[in-house]
Amino acid sequence: MTGKIKSSKPLENSELFAYKNPELPVEDRVADLLSRMTIEEKVAQLMGLWNDGIEDFGEEVLNDPAKMKEIFGNGCNSVHPSALGIKETVKLRNKIQKYLVEKTRLGIPTLFVDEGQHGLMRPDSTVFPQAIGIACSWDPVLLEKVYGVIAYEMRSRGTHHALSPVIDVCRDPRWGRVEETYGEDPYLNGVLGCAAVKGFQGSDDGTVIDNHVAATLKHLLGHGEPEGGQNQGPANYSLRVLRDYHMPPFKMCLDKVKPAAVMPSYNEIDGVPSHTNKWLLKDVLRDEWGFKGMVVADYFAIDQTLLKESVVENEKHAATVTFNAGVQFEFPKSNYYYHLIELLEEGKVNLEDIDTAVSQSLKLKFELGLFENPYINVDKAIEVSKNVEHKELALQAARESIVLLKNEVHPGTNGNALLPLSKNKYKKIAVIGPCAKDLYFGGYSGEPYEKVSLLDGIKNKVGNNTEILFAQGCKLTTNTTTSYFNWKNHEIKFASREENLGLIKEAVEIAKKAEVIILALGENEHLCREAWAKEHIGDNMTLDLFGEQNELAESIIALGKPVVVYLMNGRPLSINKLVEKVPAIIEGWYMGQETGTAAADVIFGDVNPSGKLTITVPKSAGQLPMYYNHKRSAQFVDYISQDIKPLFYFGFGLSYTDFSFNNVRLENNDIGTSDSTKVLVDVKNTGTREGSEVVQMYIRDLVSSVTRPVKELKGFNKIKLNPGESKTVSLPILPEHLAFTNRDMKFVVEPGDFEVMVGSSSRDEDLAKTILHVK
**Terminal Cα distance for the chain, rounded:** 60
Query: For the chain, what percentages of helix, strand and coil (3-state, to nearest 5) are there?
Result: 35, 20, 45
Cβ-based neighbours of 575, under 8 Å, separated by 6 or more: 521, 545, 565, 567, 585, 647
Beta pairing, strands 467-471 & 403-407: unpaired
Distance separating alpha carbons of residues 301 and 283, to the nearest angstrom: 21
Q: What b/e string do you get for 34-61 counting C-beta neighbours within 10 Å, with b at 16 or more?
A: beebbebbbbbbbbbbbbeeebebeeeb
Distance separating alpha carbons of residues 199 and 195, to the nearest angstrom: 6
pTM: 0.96
192: how many CB neighbours lie within 10 A of its CB?
Answer: 30
Of 577, 645, 648, the closest CA to residue 612 belongs to 648
Query: In 3-state terms, what secondary structure has residue 471?
Result: strand
Which pLDDT does position 55 carry in this prediction?
A: 57
Cis peptide before 165, with omega less than 30 degrees from 0?
yes
Of 370, 521, 411, 484, the closest CA to residue 33 belongs to 370
On the CB side of 59, CA atoms within 13 Å amount to 1
Q: Which amino acid is at 98?
A: K
On the 0-12 / 13-18 / 19+ scale of CB atoms within 10 A, 701 is buried
Of 579, 573, 585, 554, the closest CA to residue 474 belongs to 554
Q: What b/e string do you get for 215-239 counting C-beta neighbours within 10 Å, with b at 16 or more?
A: bbbbbbbbbbbbeebbbbbbbebee
Cis peptide before 420, with omega less than 30 degrees from 0?
yes
Which pLDDT does position 51 carry in this prediction?
A: 83
Beta pairing, strands 712-721 & 691-701: antiparallel
Query: In 3-state terms, what secondary structure has residue 558?
Result: coil
Looking at residue 470, the DSSP 8-state letter turns out to be E
Distance separating alpha carbons of residues 126 and 119, to the nearest angstrom: 6
Distance separating alpha carbons of residues 1 and 334, to the nearest angstrom: 5
Distance separating alpha carbons of residues 333 and 297, to the nearest angstrom: 10
On the 0-12 / 13-18 / 19+ scale of CB atoms within 10 A, 310 is exposed
Looking at residue 291, the DSSP 8-state letter turns out to be -
Residue pair 561/515 in contact by the 8 Å Cβ criterion: yes
Distance separating alpha carbons of residues 220 and 242, to the nearest angstrom: 10
Low-confidence spans in the chain with pLDDT less than 50 = 1-8
Distance separating alpha carbons of residues 587 and 565, to the nearest angstrom: 8
Residue pair 76/331 in contact by the 8 Å Cβ criterion: no
Residue pair 169/185 in contact by the 8 Å Cβ criterion: yes
Residues listed for the chain: 775
Residues identified as active-site: 298
Distance separating alpha carbons of residues 694 and 542, to the nearest angstrom: 31
Query: In 3-state terms, what secondary structure has residue 688?
Result: coil
Distance separating alpha carbons of residues 516 and 125, to the nearest angstrom: 35
Q: What b/e string do you get for 590-623 counting C-beta neighbours within 10 Å, with b at 16 or more?
A: bbbbbbbbbbbbbbbeebbbbbbbbbbbbbbbeb
Distance separating alpha carbons of residues 289 and 277, to the nearest angstrom: 16
Query: In 3-state terms, what secondary structure has residue 405?
Result: strand
Residue pair 211/159 in contact by the 8 Å Cβ criterion: no
DSSP alpha helices (H): ranges in 308-448? 315-325, 340-345, 351-367, 378-385, 388-401
